[in-house]
Amino acid sequence: MFGLPIAFTSPWLLMALLSLPVIWWLLRLTPPKPQEEVFPPTRILAKLQEKEETPAQSPWWLTLLRLLMAALVILAMAGPILNPQESSLNGEGPVMIVMDDGWASAKDWETRRNTALALVTEAKEAGRTVILQSTAGHENWSSEPLTPEDAASLLEASESIAIEPDHAKTASTLPAKIRTTNPGQIVWLSDGLAREGTEELANTMRAANTATALYEADTENLIIIETISNEPSELFGNLTRAESAGSQEVSVIARDLKGVVISRVNAFFGDGETKTRFTFDGPVELRNQIARLEVDTARNAAAVQLLDDNNRRRLVGLISGEKYDLSQPLLSPLYYISKALEPFSDLRRSADANVTASVLELINQGVSAIALADVGVITESAEEQLSEWIEKGGLLIRFSGPRLAGAPQGNLLPVDIRPGDRNLGGALSWETPKSLAAFERESPFFGINPPRDVVVRKQLLA
């Protein structure tokens, strides 16, 4: 008003300032001169000295002060607002607020919600209804126009949802809602990230033939944890940030099931880089205790990764009952077993060729499984230790061979084995070597074609 950064909620009350001249006239008004009556004792009173004199009119400064007080009262009743903001709403009819309320909105959810509440307040002052549209799926948000009071209650009780906003689904359902409610303005509170369906959603709002406003969030310090891999020598993961400008160092914290910090490592983004890698290189026993990884400075669900059994490396003990021949590894009974297990497990081999000593050593190391490669005779002491370990959850895997075929006992086997073996394709056999059959549908290897050059020449029969 008059070029000043001030506005009034009730500007019509400023008309009362026109009454200031009348108030000034009333303050200057003096009572009529009294009539004079002859009264003899008046001569005596005339000789008395007056101590106080009542002025015929109020002093000018007092009149000015009273006028200033009256003007201030009028200005206060008009509701002055310092630095008033222009209204964010345009058009007429319902106001539709489209909110990205997924995981990326968690870091500034309070600001996002306050922005929506400010829009609702403006709609209330303008006498307009409000339509709330969630892109992440707030089920309690009605598709019908709401009163500003009801819309404010829903917003105050809402929180961001730790899922990905579905812009494609929102873009497909929004046209029908726009035709039904006919909003006067659409306001999109975006999280600032582009994903599948984002461009389609923007085009849908632009094609609504109504005023459209976009509030795009700041994506600085928006970091997520992507792939996690627990390898034999280290546990590593990849970090991705939304903004590539400037270098940035972040801290990744590893916690156990009780929330205790196990380790903390730093990762560095170079200027122009959006991806980097962090590494925990502690012992596998310590890495297997990690149940939660989180980026210290990022406040969103994607900056947290929960680890389960699939992320832990299992300790597997290998026993063959003979010394490991480094000069001829291909002849070792454990060679192919090791090659099959190395990508998924941490292998423990006993340096002792004695089976009993090897079993005790591996159990003390806390292995989850023990593989016996063609071990025939198991001593009573080793059998007791293995049986107790199996009852506590251990897994014993036995591979057959000439030693197992010639063993006089059948303990620690899923079935009883017939003595001796069956030759296929020998000089005294009517059978020919058998190839591998196709895997059954129930088998975890279903769909893999067995190699044709692999044949079976000997069998152990139950």
pLDDT digits (tens, 9 = 90+) for 168-202: 999 998 888 888 888 888 999 988 888 899 999 98
Same domain (yes/no): 303, 202:
no
Domain contains 32: no
Residue 366 has what pLDDT?
85
pLDDT band at 45 (very low <50, low <70, confident <90, very high): low
**Higher-pLDDT residue of 82, 229:** 229
Domain contains 106: yes
Domain boundary among 292, 311, 330: 311
Three-class secondary structure of residue 166 per DSSP: coil
- Indicate the number of domains in the chain: 4
Q: Which of 31, 37, 77, 39 is nearest to 56 (CA)?
A: 31
pLDDT digits (tens, 9 = 90+) for 416-461: 877 766 666 666 566 778 888 888 888 888 888 888 888 888 777 7
Domain contains 253: yes
We report the CATH number of the domain holding residue 195 as: 3.40.50.410
CB 223 within 8 A of CB 197: no
Three-class secondary structure of residue 258 per DSSP: coil
For residue 234, what are the contacts with CB-CB under 8 A and spacing of at least 6? 279, 280, 281, 287
266-301 in b/e form (b: 16+ CB < 10 A) is ebebeeeeeebebebebebeebbbbbbbbbeebebb
Distance of CA 115 to the CA centre of its chain: 21
86-108 in b/e form (b: 16+ CB < 10 A) is eeebeeeebbbbbbbbbbbbbbb
We report the CATH number of the domain holding residue 347 as: 3.40.50.2300
Domain contains 40: no
We report the CATH number of the domain holding residue 276 as: 2.60.40
pLDDT digits (tens, 9 = 90+) for 332-372: 788 888 888 887 788 888 777 788 888 898 998 888 899 98
For the residues 156-161, what does the mean pLDDT come to?
89
Same domain (yes/no): 120, 135:
yes
pLDDT digits (tens, 9 = 90+) for 297-329: 888 889 999 998 888 888 888 988 776 655 677
Joined tokens for residue 263: 């380790």
Same domain (yes/no): 144, 181:
yes
- In angstroms, rounded to a whole number, what is the distance separating the alpha carbons of residues 112 and 199? 21
Least reliable range by pLDDT among 61-75, 300-314, 379-393: 61-75
- Highest mean pLDDT out of 51-55, 76-80, 337-341: 337-341
Domain contains 426: no
Same domain (yes/no): 331, 407:
yes
**Higher-pLDDT residue of 411, 181:** 181
Residue 255 has what pLDDT?
94
Same domain (yes/no): 184, 132:
yes
Same domain (yes/no): 277, 368:
no
> Long-range pairs for 336-345 at CB < 8 Å and ≥24 separation?
337/371, 337/373, 337/399, 341/316, 341/371, 342/232, 344/313, 344/314, 345/313, 345/314, 345/315, 345/316, 345/369
Range of the domain at 145: 95-216
**Higher-pLDDT residue of 283, 67:** 283
pLDDT band at 264 (very low <50, low <70, confident <90, very high): very high
Q: If 0-12 CB within 10 Å is exposed, 13-18 middle and 19+ buried, where does residue 346 land? A: buried
Domain boundary among 265, 294, 311: 311
Residue in the structure block whose two tokens are 């009262």 = 73
- In angstroms, rounded to a whole number, what is the distance separating the alpha carbons of residues 410 and 376? 9
Same domain (yes/no): 205, 257:
no
pLDDT digits (tens, 9 = 90+) for 116-154: 999 998 888 888 999 998 998 877 777 788 999 999 999
CB 404 within 8 A of CB 374: yes
Domain boundary among 283, 311, 339: 311
Is pLDDT above 80 for 462?
A: no
Same domain (yes/no): 118, 201:
yes
Domain contains 443: no
**Higher-pLDDT residue of 81, 375:** 375
Same domain (yes/no): 271, 208:
no
Angle between helices 355-364 and 380-391 (to 10 degrees): 30
The dihedral formed by the CA atoms of 11, 16, 21 and 25, expressed in degrees to the nearest 10: -160
Domain contains 432: no
E-only strand ranges, 256-326: 261-269, 275-280, 292-295, 304-306, 314-319
Joined tokens for residue 205: 């709002």
**Higher-pLDDT residue of 172, 4:** 172
Residue 291 has what pLDDT?
92
Residue 336 has what pLDDT?
85
Least reliable range by pLDDT among 76-90, 322-336, 365-379, 394-408: 76-90
Domain contains 402: yes
Same domain (yes/no): 382, 282:
no
Find the farthest-apart pair of alpha carbons in the chain and give their distance in angstroms, rounded: 171
Same domain (yes/no): 244, 338:
no
CB 405 within 8 A of CB 460: yes
Same domain (yes/no): 281, 366:
no
Residue 1 has what pLDDT?
47
Helices (H), 144-265: 148-156, 167-181, 198-206
